[in-house]
Amino acid sequence: MNKSIGHKQLISQSLSILPTESFSCPLLNYGYDKLSVDALMKIFVAAQLDNWQSYEEMEEKLRANPEFCQSINLPSISGAQLSRRINDLPTEHAQALFQSVVHKIQELTKNHKGINPELGRLKIIDSTHIKLPPELCDWAFVTKGWNVVKMHTRIVVVSEDIHYPDKIVPSTGNVADVETPHLLVEEDDATYLMDRGYPSKKNLNAWQNQDILFVVRIRNTMKVEPIETYEITHPDVIRDAKVTYTRAEQPIRLVEFLDEENRLYRLMTTRWDLSAEQIMELYRCRWMIETFFKWVKQHLKLVKIWSTKPQGMWNQMFIAMAAYGLALILQLQLKSPRNLWRFLRLMRIYLYKTYDEFMKELHHKKSRTSRGRQKVPIPSKREVEFLGDVAIIKPQKKK
């Protein structure tokens, strides 16, 4: 936290971490005297962090917190102006803000080696959709009653407790997952985890030629030819083999296992160094991106849209991910043992109080009094007493 910026509120201190200086230049803000790009993006990051529900609530929050407005050099603003500006904001600016936040997280987590040394860092790829009102968003039409946009996402897993999005690709809802790996799968030392929507034969060949480490689920209809079969050492694993497939340029490893409900999972992987059991457990880490999507939709209200125009939607995606990243940066910098949701919840309570008050509560230790282990008494049956004449009470017929 930068305690020298002159504003003591936690919200101002938090937003001062965002590297938005380049968005304050006069040339970039020509014609926008009241609301710079810097201030605009900080307002919308604050809206995501504090769960502001509407443009009307934005106005009310800003009027109620003049110190916050002063910290972003904002004299006054209307909801209509905010709506116009977020729709007009070039998405490259929102994307640049998100990327600068990612860079800060990468610096803070560079010593984290992944879930464990054997598995290393993981990158999980998947997409989620955001439903839009059909009457206002013809441009997002997919099928009758289904107007959606998609956020194709890559999250980095740097430890059991820490993961974050490092790249997103917005799209209309008719863009299939299989069309996006060339933007999300890049050469590095991480292992990529993907579901059945991503591996085409073309994509598999490309990843193998680039020496990408991956574990990806394939469809049950994909035919393979075995080259060599390996010994099975786990009861859930039913096949571990070196195989080839139609148009394959190199052999690949196939691991098949059954889950607790007897569903078949077929995994193709380039991780020859791991056991079949480790491959199976590695793929199960893919649930992390599902919980991530659930987290941002529930706690950052990503489903609450600010715009019905394409550019406004793309901007909201990048700004929401920047807000997630900002909360994670604060949690990492302050070395808080709280999980990210509990940390964000405390931030919301203290956003307009001072940074020192927030820190005091963050390090507050609950007092515990104990008389040692007590014998648990068997509760006696008590008759419930109904008081007053307001409710209608009908006697129960006990069996």
Predicted pLDDT at 3: 46
Dump pLDDT digits (tens) for 101-160: 999 999 999 998 888 888 889 999 999 999 999 999 999 999 998 999 999 999 999 998
- Residues constituting the chain: 399
Predicted pLDDT at 2: 52
Q: From CA 321, how far away is CA 318, in angstroms rounded?
A: 5
The secondary element (H helix, E strand) that includes residue 297 is helix 287-299
**pLDDT surpasses 90 at 353:** yes
- Range scoring the smallest mean pLDDT among 208-217, 349-358, 363-372: 363-372
Instruction: Return the bridge partners of 129, or none.
Output: 150
- Of 3, 54, 15, 9, the closest CA to residue 351 belongs to 9
DSSP class of residue 73 equals T
CA-based Rg of the chain, rounded to a whole angstrom? 26
- Of 302, 289, 290, 295, the closest CA to residue 48 belongs to 302
Query: What would the mean pLDDT of 58-67 be, rounded to a whole number?
Result: 93
Tell me the percentage of the chain whose pLDDT exceeds 90.
76
Predicted pLDDT at 4: 45
Q: How many C-beta atoms surround the C-beta of residue 174 within 10 A?
A: 13
Q: How many C-beta atoms surround the C-beta of residue 182 within 10 A?
A: 10
Query: What would the mean pLDDT of 230-241 be, rounded to a whole number?
Result: 95
Query: What would the mean pLDDT of 191-195 be, rounded to a whole number?
Result: 97
Average pLDDT taken over every residue of the chain: 91
Grouping H, G, I as helix, E, B as strand and the rest as coil, residue 5 is coil
DSSP class of residue 24 equals G
More confident residue, 95 or 391: 95
Token couple for 28: 């970039």
> What are phi and psi for residue 197, nearest 5 degrees?
-75, -10
**pLDDT surpasses 90 at 299:** yes
pTM score of the predicted model: 0.89
Q: How many C-beta atoms surround the C-beta of residue 239 within 10 A?
A: 18
Specify whether the backbone of 168 is left (phi greater than 0), alpha (psi in -120 to 50) or beta: beta
**pLDDT surpasses 70 at 364:** yes
**pLDDT surpasses 90 at 76:** no
More confident residue, 233 or 399: 233
User: Residue 81: which residues within 8 A CB-CB, separation 6 or more?
Assistant: 34, 35
Q: From CA 371, how far away is CA 136, in angstroms rounded?
A: 63
Residue 32 pLDDT level (bands cut at 50, 70, 90): low
Dump pLDDT digits (tens) for 39-48: 999 999 999 9
Predicted pLDDT at 377: 63
Predicted pLDDT at 35: 84
Predicted pLDDT at 280: 95
- Of 20, 15, 73, 23, the closest CA to residue 49 belongs to 15
Predicted pLDDT at 28: 67
Token couple for 286: 């893919």
